[in-house]
Amino acid sequence: MIEAVRRTVVNDMTIQVATVNGSGSQSANNILLKSFFRMGIPVGGKNLFPSNIQGLPTWYTIRVNHRGYVGRKAQLDFLVAMNPNTAKEDYHQVVPGGVIICDSEWTIDPADRRDDVAWYPVPFAQLCKDNVENAKLRRLLTNMIYVGVVAELLGIDNEILDAALRDQFASKAKVVESNRKMIELGKDFVRKNLAKKDPFRVEKMNANGNKILIDGNSASALGCVFGGCTVVAWYPITPSSSLPESVIDFLNQHRKDEATGKNRFAVVQAEDEIAALGMVIGAGWAGARAMTSTSGPGISLMSEFVGLGYFAEIPAVIFDVQRVGPSTGLPTRTAQGDVLKVVTLSHGDTKHVALFPGSVQECFEMGWRAFDLADRLQTPVFVLTDLDLGMNNWMADPFEYPDKPLDRGKVLDADAIKRLGKFERYRDVDGDAVGWRTLPGTRHPAAAYFTRGSGHNEKALYTERGDDYVHLMDRLARKHQTAAQLVPAPVESSDSGAQIGVIAYGSTDSPMAECRDQLREKGIRSSYLRIRAFPFTRAVRAFIEKFERIYVIEQNRDGQMLALLRIEYPELATRLRSVRHYDGLPIDARFMSDHVIEQEHSSKKELIHG
Amino acid sequence: MAEVGTVNRLGFNRQEYTGSPSTLCNGCGHDSITNHIITALYEIGADPYTFAKMSGIGCSSKTPAYFLSKSHGFNAVHGRMPSVSTGAKLANHELTMLAVSGDGDTASIGIGQFCHLIRRNVRMIYVIENNGVYGLTKGQFSATADTGSKQKDGTINELETIDCCELAITLGCTFVARSFSGDKKQMVPLLKAAMSHDGTALLDVISPCVTFNDHEGSSKSYAHVRETDTPLHEIGYVPSYEETVADYAEGSETDIRFPDGSTIRLKKLDHDYNPKNKVEAVAMLEESRKKGILTTGLIFVDTARKDFNATLHMVDTPLIRLSDAELRPSRETLSRIVESYR
Ligand SMILES: Cc1ncc(C[n+]2csc(CCOP(=O)(O)OP(=O)(O)O)c2C)c(N)n1
Ligand code: SF4
Ligand SMILES: [Mg+2]
């Protein structure tokens, strides 16, 4: 029997499932996530997992929010405690008025017995023992009981839930049946034994239009496929691996010669990240579109080859799905800590092109555009995402088909050389600081040139002359200016009454709308600029010039984007302030707004007290 | 040198296969190898427009600039030429990959990539110009320095040597040869055969460094190499466009046919040697090491194994020549994919 509740909270809650790694809870969590999504409620799911295959604690958080705030929220409303080892701590994460679901057989320390939350003890283990014969399956199926419990308590639509279940175990009728039975057990238990004591409910709404739900790595992978990438070389590393693995899946589905079944692509699992990038550089040099994907440790290893790509001017696309460093760091936690490293990677003077997708749509779009940019600019192009964006599921508008054909950049074939009468690899004939190149195998006596990472002149001949070197380095600097005309411009969301500016990039975008609303509630109005690429475009400077105080919000310790902005715009440096989040969890709106407010207050005090 | 006016089957004279003048020390073994490469290319009638010259960093790795000026070349970073070559070959399998490396470039900094290249059996000719030292950084021992060999300043190498041929055989290399830069008669047919081979063809060529490793006590000096060089057989190469004639006494010669129709003919010297037997090959190399002799010739060959492009089930069209329509799936395909994420 369900008791009437005084207050109801509809479509606004953060649910956390605390489980153990390797226990198969991912399917259960996906079913819940999909169900909310298909009920038309904005939703975001985040997996917090350890660097371990089996046995260590993991948490899955689902944020349901009718206003569309789906970034991380630190406060938990609804806990499903399935891991006795973390339960003690988990119980205390829940906000007063929240919910705790746990196994009724657990003994709970009186100190942890919170009386300000609704407890729902469920005999998970017992229900499983009584209903599942196969001991091996028990653990997996226990998860489905909590799906049923949560669905019943919150009022998830039955049909939608069942469809999500069927999709999860696509076509495996037997599996669907056994899982469905467990969901029913959970629901039935709630109906017969629990009185609803909490205010949380979900109701169908229509906020999701024709959106899709996808992780950033799959989106980036699709970008690579639609960008015409043919050579993939990679070395496994969390949180990058699922990106090349998805590329491989998509290529196998969509890039085979139908007649012969043969591959119109090559994938190599390289011996390390050095070799992975070496293969990409070799393929790019020969004229193919090639990519690799890695995370911080791999980026460090790629350093020397990136310098070669920059100096010898060879296209390459490198995805960096960032995780917490330095060194092995926190391999399964998120960060934006590679920004400064990546844009100047390698020894000597280098400046690289980097794209910062802020959503899964942009993972797709910048994914394919990166190949055009690399070919057009003849240089390595980085796409920087992070664990949060890459490995978690996000809502997105359907991806738009590329709006232009592949841009293969400046390549001369034998006929073109015949027409032109000569060819000099590194001469800036068009004034954009990008020379024309030929591909090995071009059948013309003037086509060949020697590619080297040592000093070279416009004819690609070896030189150690100072003037040749300066000439080359200055042209590369000009090429960086050309890049600024081609990379995606920043996105501005302005408020005519804004007192401050806010700058962010990448996944820090997700809680930004919520953060700015929180600031507004405190009387602080802001305009927001989301940087999408390095080199910065003119709009970045223009934005900074508009405000006395601009907060650069990012997920690393040292304020790397802040530093980069200060390097690029030294005369504007004092306007820039910094909010930095770096505990490995995705940044949340409250953290951002609290820090901005605090700094705003202290600057007021400074004004008053001189 | 071919006489002026003499041309090969493509109508090119020898000059067409040369490159810019060498900047190496006078007498450097590497320059002789460059010459043998030019001779082999010229004699075989190689098409310069199909070649990609690959190398790492070192005196040896500079040499691709000294031959085949009509072919693209790539001086990669130290020790990483194999990966760059792999990528280029995957992108365009029509390229004939001709790579030159040093013993430092291959057996020290690059040994990882060397091993993995062989494991993949990427089709390419891989010449190690092996002088037992790092020439370009002024004579430090490399990992192929023989145990007991003396450096210029008197230091003795007490470490084990890495035998690139033996290593390659155990890794599954399908064409393994050893030679000496001063032995044109042996090297030229070996190079030609390497070009016919469908897989990684390794030539470990002892190539004395006159400046840092040509003294008394060095096992890679000209004098010592000449003294200990023990050929396994006499080698002849018959290209696919010439007929092979069986004109030898039973048992004195072995023919090995390559998939492109060419043949390498091994003429027996003092004793029998079967280059198709892995175990025998390794035993022979171990024996040579024990005796302190340099055994040269075609050490091992296996013409049956698939090369990397075939292993990856790639289409016949080089990837770089696929059309945009073949590369970018259709609008409908994107809609279908997107739909599956609803
Ligand atoms: C990463 C890196 N480390 C060190 C060097 C310096 N270096 C240049 S060539 C070389 C050794 C070359 O030896 P080898 O490959 O045997 O060629 P050789 O000069 O003997 O022909 C070294 C250590 C370098 N170029 N790059
Ligand atoms: S230093 Fe040695 S290896 Fe280098 S060019 Fe001179 S002789 Fe040759
Ligand atoms: Mg050497």
- Report in angstroms the alpha-carbon separations of A344 from A349, A353, A376, A505: 8, 9, 20, 18
Is-contact B266 B254, C-beta < 8 A? yes
The verdict on residue B20 lying in a domain is yes
End-to-end CA distance of chain B: 71
The pLDDT of residue A1: 33
Distance from CA of A228 to the nearest CA of B (A): 5
| DSSP-based three-state secondary structure for A576 | strand
Question: Which residue puts its alpha carbon closest to atom 2 of ligand 1?
Answer: B78
- The values of phi and psi at residue A435, to 5°, are -80, 175
d(CA A182, CA A203): 23
Cα B57 to ligand 2 centroid, rounded to whole Å: 13
The CB of B169 under 6 Å from ligand 1? The reply is no
The pLDDT tens digits for A208-243 are: 999 999 999 999 999 999 999 999 999 999 999 999
- A33 near B CB under 8 A: no
The pLDDT tens digits for B56-114 are: 999 999 999 999 999 999 999 999 999 999 999 999 999 999 999 999 999 999 999 99
> Is A279's CB within 8 Å of B337's CB?
no
**In chain A, residues 211-250 whose CB comes closer than 8 Å to chain B:** 212-214, 222, 225-228, 230-231, 233, 250
- pLDDT exceeds cutoff 90 at A34: yes
The pLDDT of residue A608: 63
Residue matched to tokens 């001469």: A427
The closest CB to that of B329, out of A254, A283, A451, belongs to A254
- The values of phi and psi at residue A483, to 5°, are -60, -40
Residue matched to tokens 């003795």: B156
Instruction: Please list, in sequence order, all residues whose beta carbon lies within 8 angstroms of the beta carbon of residue A115, skipping any fewer than 6 positions away.
Output: none
- Taking the CA of B106 as reference, the closest ligand is 1
* Full domain range(s) for residue B235: 14-311
The verdict on residue B326 lying in a domain is no
- Taking the CA of B214 as reference, the closest ligand is 2
Q: What is the CATH number of the domain that holds B115?
A: 3.40.50.970
The verdict on residue B233 lying in a domain is yes
The verdict on residue B139 lying in a domain is yes
- Report in angstroms the alpha-carbon separations of B118 from A7, A259, B161: 70, 31, 20
> Could you give the maximum distance between any two Cα atoms of chain A, in Å?
89
Give the pLDDT band of residue A21 (cuts 50, 70, 90).
confident
**Mean per-residue pLDDT, A396-418:** 98
The pLDDT of residue A303: 98
State which residues have CB under 5 angstroms from ligand 3, the bound ion.
Answer: B 102-104, 131
- A285 near B CB under 8 A: yes
- pLDDT exceeds cutoff 60 at A5: no
Is-contact A396 A212, C-beta < 8 A? yes
Would you say the ipTM is above 0.85?
yes
d(CA A462, CA A472): 12
Helix then strand then coil, % of chain B, to nearest 5: 35, 20, 45
Tokens representing residue A160 in the block = 């939608």
Tokens representing residue A575 in the block = 């306007």
The pLDDT tens digits for A261-294 are: 999 999 999 999 999 999 999 999 999 999 999 9
The pLDDT of residue B186: 98
Tokens representing residue A363 in the block = 């993972």
> Is A287's CB within 8 Å of B91's CB?
yes
Residue matched to tokens 């308590």: A153
Give the pLDDT band of residue A3 (cuts 50, 70, 90).
very low
Beta-carbon contacts below 8 Å between A and B: 212
Instruction: Please list, in sequence order, all residues whose beta carbon lies within 8 angstroms of the beta carbon of residue A573, skipping any fewer than 6 positions away.
Output: A565, A566
The pLDDT of residue A52: 85
**Cβ atoms within 10 Å, residue B245:** 7
> Is B87's CB within 8 Å of A290's CB?
yes
The verdict on residue B245 lying in a domain is yes
The pLDDT of residue A23: 81
The pLDDT of residue A22: 80
The verdict on residue B8 lying in a domain is no
The pLDDT of residue B4: 54
Task: Please give the full DSSP string across B180-219, using - where no structure is assigned.
Answer: ETT-HHHHHHHHHHHHH-SSEEEEEEE---TTTS-STT-T
| DSSP-based three-state secondary structure for A203 | coil
Name chain B contacts of A257, Cβ cutoff 8 Å. 315
- The values of phi and psi at residue A29, to 5°, are -65, -40
The closest CB to that of B92, out of A233, A441, A450, belongs to A441
The pLDDT of residue A609: 61
The pLDDT tens digits for A362-400 are: 999 999 999 999 999 999 999 999 999 999 999 999 999
Closest to A127 measured CA to CA, from A99, A107, A149: A149
In this structure, what DSSP letter does residue A537 have?
A: P
**Mean per-residue pLDDT, A589-607:** 91
**% of chain A exceeding 70 in pLDDT:** 98
The segments of chain B whose pLDDT lies below 50 read: 1-2
Distance from CA of A37 to the nearest CA of B (A): 9
- A264 near B CB under 8 A: yes
Handedness of CA A496, A502, A504, A507 (dihedral sign): negative
The closest CB to that of B333, out of A231, A254, A264, belongs to A254
The verdict on residue B135 lying in a domain is yes
**% of chain A exceeding 90 in pLDDT:** 93
Region for residue B118 given its phi and psi (left: phi exceeds 0; alpha: psi -120 to 50; beta: otherwise): alpha
Set out the domains of chain A in order of their start, with CATH numbers. 2-201 (3.40.920.10), 214-396 (3.40.50.970), 414-486 (no CATH), 491-609 (3.40.50.920)
**Looking at the 3D structure of chain B, how many domains does it have?**
1
The pLDDT tens digits for A61-115 are: 999 999 999 999 999 999 999 999 999 999 999 999 999 999 999 999 999 999 9
